[in-house]
Chain A
Amino acid sequence: MLILTCPHCGVQADETELSPGGEAHLKRFGPESSDDEFLGYLFHRQNPKGPHFERWRHSFGCGKWFLAARDTANNQVFGTYPATLAEPSDRLRERISAARPGWGFEPGAPSPDAEVAP
């Protein structure tokens, strides 16, 4: 059971207080976009082994959404921040880079061309 600190109310929340919301920082594609872009937005996720940005809601607490940077391989949490930020802060990125050299942040869903065979 994970522990994540809610950036809104400051509570060290147990996983039972939280609801997961999937990958964070997805680039949204609406009605005017191409089919490929829409497909990628809807379905394609990064699923990395290593640092990952994800959405959580403090549902049995303050009820607000926040984002967390967590290593999926060993559950180290690099930091949490409000869901209103469009990108992780430089400080958080530096912290992750220090712990996981060679790591890079790529916002949005992976390109569908790279992921799906024709």
Chain B
Amino acid sequence: MSTRLSRGGRLIDRSRPLRFTFDGHHYRGFAGDTLASALLANGQTVVGRSFKYHRPRGLVASGQEEPNGLVNLGAGHRMEPNQRATVTPLTEGLTALSQNRWPNLDLDVGAVNSAFGRFLPAGFYYKTFMWPRAAWKHVYEPFIRRSAGLGRVPEGRDPDLYEHFNVHVDVLIAGGGIAGLAAALAAGRSGQRVLLLEQNGWWGGRAAVDGPEIDGTPAAYWIEQAVKALEALPNVRLRLNTQVSGVYDHGYVLACEQLDGVGPRQRLWRIRAGKIVSAIGAIERPLAFAGNDVPGVMLASAVRDYLANWGVSVGDRVVVVTNNDDAYRTALAVHRAGLLVPVIVDARPRPDGELVRMARDLGIRIEAGRGIAKVKGRRGVTGVTLCALVGEGAGIEDIACDAVAMSGGWTPSVHLWSHAGGALAWDDDRAMFLPNPERPPRQHDGSAMVIPAGGSAGELRTAGVLASGLSAGAQAAGGEAEPHIAARDAEEGPFLPVWVMPQGAKTSLKRKMWLDFQNDVKVSDVELAAREGFQSVEHVKRYTTLGMATDQGKTSNLNGLAVLGQTLHVPIPAVGTTTFRPPYTPLTMGTIAGVAKGPLFQPIRKTAIHQWHERHGATWEPVGLWRRPFAYIRPGEHVENAVNREVLAVRNSVGCWMPRRSARSS
């Protein structure tokens, strides 16, 4: 059971409590909370039901990549479906409804699908709804349409305003973590026009949570000083709450800014940038073990985000399962908060690094070379069963816990690099797809348009992140490389790729190993697709729905590729990736439309003699955006009479037809 701790939470203001409702229940949170952190603070660990099997689902992540925490937000005309609770700021009186359940979250009739899960594998509807032929139209399709989809469609017109904003800059920096800040410092000093956009409401990204030492000071202090220095530069503009959405040809970029207060709700930035620095970080990968979708199983980084940012503990006893050193930071943070880490399950046979030694010195039990055979519990984690990583999953020991923090390593976010055609290269040591500097997306003059920095360039250690940020910023502005910024974080030992845990798991376990939480795709589904001949990664994606829908596989893609590679006995780079397409996160249709709606959607174009026609009683015939007089109506006359009268006038006397601009010659 998750709860709010009495101290901690660097983003919340405990003096400003807020009320909100979720599924009709009244809850309290604080200013600075997200909907996700406030739900966890109130012990609401189940936030939705899964798409296909209607399994209870909890939050997995703490940011844009969240696959499960989708809610219907607001009510009436302002209702918006499929909003990620993790990036929804809590406001007074906010109302949210869980999705994909009937009649309610606790009792969901659709959960019967879970019992028949064996009979609903990947592509089942291509196989089972074949005949009788007439049944498709009258029975199957109406049924599938009713059960498909997640949120409900809002009714009525969107009452909010949206605006577009055109801007030209020399250097656009996407991401306000320490890589983006370093890049902005380097580029800003050149005097060029620099725009720095950050998706969250705060600067510093992960460093603000993990707190390495930068330039001899704590990370939080360095971040504050860097932002101050940037604000003092007249040529640098900074925006929080602005998500870079897509990179297009020749430096055209779309970004969406969330606004609050009166006025427009969102602003779409249409940016033409000379160079784009992609400093959008990396996303942690889940591990595939049986029951990894039980509410309470979360990404290790999310567990410490909730602790550090919002003072929320996800459970009193948190088991950490990992294949890398970074997850030890979660174990240490949980321990420091006064909660219990019963065991760190490390897949590596001999983990050794600074963080491992720190955990060991604190007396935290470390089980090396082990994996999780299964997670116990249905609506929430009640325990885990340990097993040998290399075996078939025979249980060694049961450990009681109420949360599991998992980490399968990090996946650099290469979306902005790839949107306009940047190629990727596989790094076998770190098991990542990285931007291939030989084949960047190109600006019109043939130079590289996007320069990756920090996590999205595969740099995960603080010193490397800062160095790559500085050099990317200097390169983008065409200036001199900046002096080095010293940084100190823990030395990390090597990481061990683990795609399925345990490695020899039988199908019965693989049927409970989720790869894509949002679309209910399991290890067994990808294997089935491969067996049935869907071996191209693009085919597997469509057949199983792996990596589709609102999160576009942010957490699931690489694990899916790896499982496919294992099944086909080919290396991961030979499997390839699916194409990264904009937008990075879902955009509201209203934002794309901007003010072009209602009478401004297709403004009527008027000729010079439009008013003369009007004065003479013209009725109009639409010709594209133009209006052509159809007939001139005299008092008491019907349109048909007027047409006949005009036709007769031409027949009996003389007529004049004036050719005019048609809609084509705009």
Contact = CB atoms under 8 A, between A and B. Distances in A.
Interface of A: 1-4, 14-15, 71, 74-78, 99
A20 to B, nearest CB: 13
A2 B442 CA distance: 11
A71 B248 CA distance: 16
B444 A74 contact: no
A77 B421 CA distance: 15
7 contacts: A1-B248, A1-B250, A3-B251, A15-B249, A74-B421, A75-B250, A77-B446
A15 to B, nearest CB: 8
A77 B444 contact: yes
Nearest to A14: B272
Nearest to B251: A3
B444 A1 contact: no
Contact of A99 (B251, B420, B421, B446): B446
Contacts of B251: 3
B441 interface: yes
Nearest to A1: B252
A74 B272 contact: no
A76 to B, nearest CB: 4
B446 A2 contact: no
Contacts of A99: 446
Interface of B: 248-252, 272, 420-421, 441-442, 444-446
- What are the 5 closest A-B residue pairs judged by CB atoms, nearest first? A76-B446, A1-B252, A74-B442, A3-B250, A77-B444
Contacts of A75: 249-250, 420-421, 442, 444
A104 B208 CA distance: 54
A2 B249 contact: yes
Contacts of A15: 249
Contacts of B250: 1-3, 75
Nearest to A70: B444
B421 A2 contact: no
A14 B272 CA distance: 9
Contacts of B248: 1
B639 to A, nearest CB: 37
A3 B444 contact: yes
A17 to B, nearest CB: 12
B661 to A, nearest CB: 15
B252 A76 contact: no
B444 A2 contact: yes
Nearest to A95: B446
B445 A77 contact: yes
Given A2-B444, A77-B444, 11 more contacts: A1-B250, A2-B249, A3-B250, A3-B272, A4-B444, A71-B442, A74-B421, A74-B442, A75-B249, A76-B445, A76-B446
A74 B441 contact: yes
